[in-house]
Amino acid sequence: MKGNVTVLGIDVAKQKIDVALLKEENKHQAGSFGNTPRGHQKLWQWLKKNKATDCFACLEATGPYGEKLASLLHEKNVKVSVVNPARVKGFFTPQSSHCVRYFAGAPNSDKAS
């Protein structure tokens, strides 16, 4: 997955969804959309405008709030992961920072012991 992977992080709430799109190392864009069918379509149009319809999307499992969005993205052939919020929080620890660099395509400065 190293290299030209486009990643879409999605924060889902009852009324809105906030997204961060990482297309290249240190190049990202953010957006906010209503958590409604119309808002989901606006997100899809935003992804098309940014040439990111082949992205890998990840969102937290928030019960019913993200289900329709995850389904829509899946129907559009986007690779979607719905993950446990505790796992996401644990991912961003100092011990796992190498994972973030890997998926962002950044050089790995970790030394093997």
2-15 per-position pLDDT tens digit: 557 889 999 999 99
Burial of 22 (C-beta count, 10 Å sphere; 0-12/13-18/19+): buried
Position 95, amino acid: Q
The CA-based angle 55-58-63, given to 5 degrees, is: 140
Residue-level pLDDT, tens digit, the chain, 113 residues: 455 788 999 999 999 999 999 887 677 899 999 999 999 999 999 999 999 999 999 998 888 899 999 999 999 999 999 988 777 666 555 544 444 444 444 444 444 43
Say how far apart CA 28 and CA 10 lie, in whole Å: 13
Question: Under a CB-based contact definition with an 8 Å cutoff, are residues 39 and 26 in contact?
Answer: no
Residue 74 phi/psi, 5-degree rounding, is: -60, -45
pTM of the model: 0.73
Question: How far, in Å, CA of 20 to CA of 104, rounded?
Answer: 13
